[in-house]
Amino acid sequence: MILKTKSVQNAQSPQAIAGQQQEQDVAFFLRRAFKDHPQVLVINDFKFSFNDETAQIDHLIVYTYGFVLIESKSIKGQVKVNQQEEWTRSLSINQGKTNKWQGMPSPIKQVELQQALLLELLMHHRSEILGKLLGFKQQGFKGRCWDHLCAVSSDAIIDRKSMPKAVSDKLIKSEFLVEKLDKVMNLKSKLARFINTSDTRPAFNQEELESVASFLIKQHIAPNTAAPETSKIATEQSTAPLANTPVTAAASTAPVQQMPAQPIPAEPEQQKTADKSQIIQIVLRCKHCGESTNYTPMYGKFGYYIHCKQCTKNTPMKQACPQCSSKNTRIQKRQETYTLNCQECGCGQRVT
C-alpha cells in the first residue's frame, strides 16, 4: 500500500533532474508491486527530524517484520567499489570516447545513517506507537528486521568482481528491486507463520503496522512546493483513468492553497481558473452519532478516516464532492491538514 507518493521538486541541473527521475522510477516499481498489499506500506520521499538531526529517506518500506530503507542513485556509467568500500564512478566525456573516473560518497553509508536516526526516533516514541506485550512489557523496534538497499539506474554498469559481497548484496538495479525485496521481506501468510515455527521474527499485527505508518506520516516534513509524480517508465499511466487509482493507497503532500479572506476581483478567465483551486472547508461528522469535534483523524486499510471518541466508531473522510457531487475524489494529507480533492471539477475542500 502506498502511503505517500514522491514529492517532485523543480530540479534545474542535469544531475538533479537525473536523480529525481531515478527516484520516480523506483517509486513506480514499488507502486506496481505493492499498491494493493496490506502488509507492505511504502512511504516515498520521507523527510523527518529528531534530536536536532534531519534525514531524508528516498523510499521507506514498513512491513510485517520490520523496515527496509532504499536509497536511489542515478548512475549512468560504471560503478566500482574497492575492498575498503570506497566508491568510484565513470563519467563519459568527449561524446563518450573517453571515461573519467571520479570518487563518490557511499550511498550505503548514507542510508545506514538514515536508518540509525529512524530507529532512534521510533524507540523514543515506542510507547505511543506500540502497546505492551502481555500487558506489561513495552514493545520496541530494535528486535525487528532492519535492511537497507541502494537502487541504481537500470542502465548502470556494475563491476561486481572486485566489489565486497556485503556491498554487492545491497546494490540492486531498479528493475530487479522488487525481486530483491521479496527475498529480503520473505512474507508469509498467517497460516504459514503458524505452521512454520522456525521463523522466529517478531511480527507487527495489522493494527500495530497501521499505528507505525500513521506515526511516520505525521513526522514527515513536507516541502514548500511539489508537482504530480511522473515516470518515463510508467508510460501507461498517462492514459490510465483516475477512477481506477486506489484512493486508499496514497497520502500525497501536494501544497494546499488557502482561500484569501478578502478575494481580489479577477477577470472572467482568471476567475474560472481560481475557482478550481480555492479551498472550501468541510466539517467532518461521525456518521453514527453526528459528533463533529471529539474525534481523531487516522489512517487504516481502507484509507483516511475519523475515529469518534463519543461512540468509538469510524467514519471515512472520503465523500462525494460538494461542488459537482462526483464520487471520484481522493483524500490528501499535508502535515496536519486533510484535503478532499475532486478529480472531475478540480475543486479542493479542506476537511476538519
Q: Per residue in 111-144, pLDDT tens?
A: 999 999 999 999 999 999 998 776 678 889 999 9
User: Does residue 266 have a pLDDT over 60?
Assistant: no
pLDDT of residue 261 exceeding 60 = no
Q: For 102, phi and psi rounded to 5 degrees?
A: -145, 140
Would you say residue 243 has pLDDT above 90?
no
Whole-number average pLDDT of the chain: 80
**Residue 267 binned pLDDT confidence (cut-offs 50, 70, 90):** very low
Residue 333 in contact with residue 350, Cβ under 8 Å?
Answer: no
pLDDT at 224: 60
pLDDT value of residue 185: 96
* Distance between first and last Cα of the chain: 25
Q: Is the pLDDT of residue 26 over 90?
A: yes
Q: How many CA atoms lie within 13 A of 33 on its CB side?
A: 20
Find the farthest-apart pair of alpha carbons in the chain and give their distance in angstroms, rounded: 73
More confident residue, 331 or 95: 331
The single-letter code of the amino acid at 61 is: I
In single-letter form, the type of residue at position 29 comes to F
Give me the mean pLDDT over the 305-312 stretch: 81
List 341's β-bridge partners, or say none: 330, 348
Residue 81 neighbours by CB under 8 Å, 6+ apart: 87, 88, 106, 162, 163, 164, 167, 168, 171
Q: What is the pLDDT of residue 144?
A: 95
Q: How many CA atoms lie within 13 A of 87 on its CB side?
A: 18
Q: Is pLDDT above 80 for 95?
A: no
Per residue in 210-225, pLDDT (tens digit) is 999 999 999 999 876 4
Q: What is the pTM of this model?
A: 0.63
Sign (positive or negative) of CA dihedral 30, 34, 36, 40: negative
Nearest-angstrom CA–CA distance, 94 and 287: 67
Instruction: Report residue 134 as a C-alpha cell.
Output: 502481555
What pLDDT is recorded for position 53?
93
Residue reference for cell 475532486? 342
Structure confidence at residue 348 as a pLDDT band (50, 70, 90):
confident
